[in-house]
Structure 1
């Protein structure tokens, strides 16, 4: 396989290590603005110029950051702050458009964020107006009955023309939120009564919140937390919002990450972090608190012996600094405080639930590198037996690939490192020893990752030839090839499972397996992310991912927008209208280039695929898990947020009870079909689900039992694979 000088990134959220730096300044003269809170630093100015130069000169589209594009950036930024068009008035939008649209791009080129900050301060002002109105309104008795309606999804509607219309919507929005909280409380109290009457159902967990707050108090607390977080937003985060929208104006996968978020992206890529080794989430009983869920075995926190699961984090202090009270903070904010460089110390203030603040203890922990072993490739063997066909069960290897990860930093430093190809090679060797009858590669929810890694992975399955084509913005085409002389780590039957959340590198993998006739692709059409990004990690602040390449199948067709269409369709659990490349703003179009000469290893004829689809459809229509998932899709479609919803709690309760009734019927139908006991009512069902998922959340990933609805896809893929026979390979002459 040909080595490439640059690591290209193929993922829904592109990550990695590479980079260039551009510091060209621009001297366009533009009017200044008054921004009291935000004082731009020299590093922020340099970063802004760098991002502007990258977009102006280096993006795949070759689209200059001129006055027209700058106006589009401004419009995108306004929409990002107010996607539902409820905070900015139309006069605000008109004012900013007239004042800044023509010069927004020029400002960015000279490192000036003041126009974007001006928009942000108006957003903060309008938000404060909303919070103040809501606070006053929540002090009154609000009638939750009547014949008013509300449209929840206003993305395609205009901004309000005046404050009266805006306030009317805000009041309706608060009324809807109160209705939802009230109905949620009714459900919660019914569940808690089940816990009290049936303690066995809790699985030994404390799941009774006993929340005595009124719906108005709950909503007020929620809004207060939102306002406090808005006030705590740092200047780097404001800069991130502006620059990220500038990049997203070019395509959905060019992104800017402020320093905190850049660290998160590197962690996702390397499966490695520098921290204390805990997983956290908002406390179930009181979301103002953040709870430690699990500790990493052998991690810094576990080694202290003083940190326990279920501890609430109430304060964090950097080494030698004052303790910061983090009650009411988001988990992202707390993570940002806790993480830091290896060898440095952080002090956390902890207490157990249901104990007074006076019982809190402080623990100082030295940060270290923690390997996220659970996040990598996993393999296992399942047995499947087709009725009336197989005399004995078939042994099927399952390869679960969560992403195309690679620890770039460790590799660059010459250290031992993890990558998806290394882990997959070990997994395939282990599965080959198991004498398997076929292999199912599970690419569901795989967001992509490293281009080098997907190319190496394909080499394990394909004899030789081109695997993917890459075109740059100048039209130059590069072909990644497998030139290992026909060596394969696995040469048996195989199927690849995809869904709408399978993106980028996982689409390259599925497309190549499909084009070579090496195996079947089953599931749902993939995301359609057919672009490659370079990661820029040596900006003055943070990092960026810039789209500079587009990739194509060996057949010449792009996966961009269209995605990879499976050979055999399985139930789609995602909403096509809101998920995937086809629903993104500014997504690049589908197109084609020339075919790269290649020799398929087999071919599944149209008659074969038609038969396999017919057989699978019959099985899906009778399989309790697929029937259940299909029914949930129908139930999901009962709610359309683009249509008016009646603001009457009795009507809303009836609608929710109908949804609950149908959901319970769907659950009980699959339980009865699988020989399990059905739930007596909705409250018992919800209580049991709460207990089940709370228990699962505290398990390590490799200890959690497979969910039956997930396992149904594995078994169906195996049935399809075992029933399929590819015809002989086409000759090279037929394909050239």
Structure 2
């Protein structure tokens, strides 16, 4: 989809630029004064340069330039050397070139220059799944089901989804021409101007009267704010206090640490949320609740699975340790490390692991994951057809109910399809939530 970043790393980003406790920094930070050595550590005396290793490095570089089958320039060799330095540290440390750095910024901010179309592939063509409200696509009248057959005159048939998305994204203010086919009719052109697209990371709805569902797809800078709005909307749609909430963190790869902290803060009134430990003073952080619980302490179930990583695990671990939610599903991914993004010159950056995080009870979930309170594996739901049984209320001349209330004859109407109808884990979570609501007297 257009609003999904191609960057699929499970990076939990504390956007610290040499310790600035803010969200992801889009601009290179000014040089910071060196931090004092933590108490009990050796003085920060610079070690002598490893001259022998540097000589070996220079010799290898010269040999490659002289003997490799094709010419290789210095820039390529040096960039590859930098990538090698980072990639061999751990799976989450990396050197980010301009494109990868820009994608990470888009992923954490949820903003990019584009058209506002969710797309899919069908029979080799790019198909519009849905235009996003209040975007160039929706304003131009693009409809779900339209086929995009050309982008700026170039046919899309045979292109990958990534190629098509790349062509539709671009600089804000630039024009782009899409050739569409609607309902098998004649192709027609639509000229659009790229704008800033704000992707929402939170979706919410009522599953049944009294039971709210919040799904977080990833943790972006504004995710905490979006969860607050989702809770307010669920209360408004329900017309009264909710009976319970399901927080769905399945297949959520993580994101910004501060957003995870803000999300937990919406569900608890007090206590520790998460803390981090690392070698440098700036990596020693503690985050606690501010007392602004917006969930009204209603019963809660958090859904996780093997695709729940990083920031998702911080949220699930905090809710589990604080006894705020029943965690249900399967064991999470197990990424318990924190990455700091350090911008460099020329729109590049280093993403390096600087700390481990711990749940309120002091658990490190690194390479182990969050174990759910109740394990529920993914399964298919097969609905059997109910027989058309006659009820007492269907019989002619039946007696009325002396306690009052309307008769309830056999119903012939079909209920509206809901997410829990074909999602076994969600259906189980809703059943548990109903039980918790009953036993809590709500």
Shared topology, TM-score over 0.5? yes
Alignment pair present for 1:440 and 2:246: yes
CA distance in 2, matches of 1:251, 1:370: 33
Do 1:498 and 1:524's aligned partners in 2 also have CA atoms closer than 8 Å?
A: yes
Match of 2:225 among 395, 401, 422: 422
CA distance in 2, matches of 1:249, 1:506: 26
Please state whether the residue corresponding to 2:255 is helix, strand or coil: strand
Do 2:96 and 2:350's aligned partners in 1 also have CA atoms closer than 8 Å?
A: yes
**1:291, CA displacement in angstroms?**
3.2
Structure 2 match to 1:344: 174
CA distance in 2, matches of 1:21, 1:477: 19
Do 2:204 and 2:230's aligned partners in 1 also have CA atoms closer than 8 Å?
A: yes
Structure 2 match to 1:715: 430
Deviation digits for residues 387-438 of structure 1 (CA, Å, limit 9, x no counterpart): xxxxxxxx333332222221xxxxxxxxxxxx12112223334445622233
Alignment of 1:425-504 (within 5 A): 425-431=228-234, 434-474=240-280, 478-482=284-288, 484=290, 486-489=291-294, 490-504=296-310
Deviation digits for residues 430-489 of structure 1 (CA, Å, limit 9, x no counterpart): 4456222333222222222221122222223333232212111458862423263x4432
Structure 1 match to 2:81: 108
CA distance in 1, matches of 2:193, 2:323: 52
**What value does the CA root-mean-square deviation take over the aligned residues?**
3.8
**1:525, CA displacement in angstroms?**
1.2
Match of 1:314 among 150, 155, 158: 150
Structure 1 match to 2:115: 276
CA distance in 2, matches of 1:249, 1:303: 48
CA distance in 1, matches of 2:320, 2:439: 13
Match of 1:706 among 413, 419, 422: 419
CA distance in 2, matches of 1:512, 1:306: 43
Structure 2 match to 1:333: 163
Do 1:11 and 1:504's aligned partners in 2 also have CA atoms closer than 8 Å?
A: no
Change in CA separation of 1:431 and 1:544 when aligned onto 2, cut-off 3 Å: same
Structure 1 match to 2:192: 365
Deviation digits for residues 480-508 of structure 1 (CA, Å, limit 9, x no counterpart): 23263x44323233222222211111111
Do 2:151 and 2:167's aligned partners in 1 also have CA atoms closer than 8 Å?
A: no
CA distance in 1, matches of 2:198, 2:254: 20
Alignment of 1:149-188 (within 5 A): none
Please state whether the residue corresponding to 2:262 is helix, strand or coil: helix
Structure 2: any 5+ residue segments left out of the alignment?
A: 1-7, 16-23, 32-53, 389-415
Change in CA separation of 1:570 and 1:254 when aligned onto 2, cut-off 3 Å: same
**1:268, CA displacement in angstroms?**
3.2
Change in CA separation of 1:295 and 1:458 when aligned onto 2, cut-off 3 Å: closer
Structure 2 match to 1:378: 204
Give 1 or 2: higher helix fraction.
Answer: 1
Do 1:495 and 1:522's aligned partners in 2 also have CA atoms closer than 8 Å?
A: yes
**1:531, CA displacement in angstroms?**
1.1
Give 1 or 2: higher strand fraction.
Answer: 2
Change in CA separation of 1:712 and 1:454 when aligned onto 2, cut-off 3 Å: same
Structure 1 match to 2:384: 672
Alignment of 1:54-73 (within 5 A): none
Alignment of 1:186-225 (within 5 A): none
Change in CA separation of 1:352 and 1:548 when aligned onto 2, cut-off 3 Å: same
CA distance in 2, matches of 1:315, 1:431: 39
TM-score normalised by L of structure 2? 0.69
Structure 2 match to 1:390: none
Do 1:376 and 1:402's aligned partners in 2 also have CA atoms closer than 8 Å?
A: yes
**1:524, CA displacement in angstroms?**
1.3
Structure 2 match to 1:29: 59
**1:718, CA displacement in angstroms?**
0.9
CA distance in 1, matches of 2:347, 2:433: 48
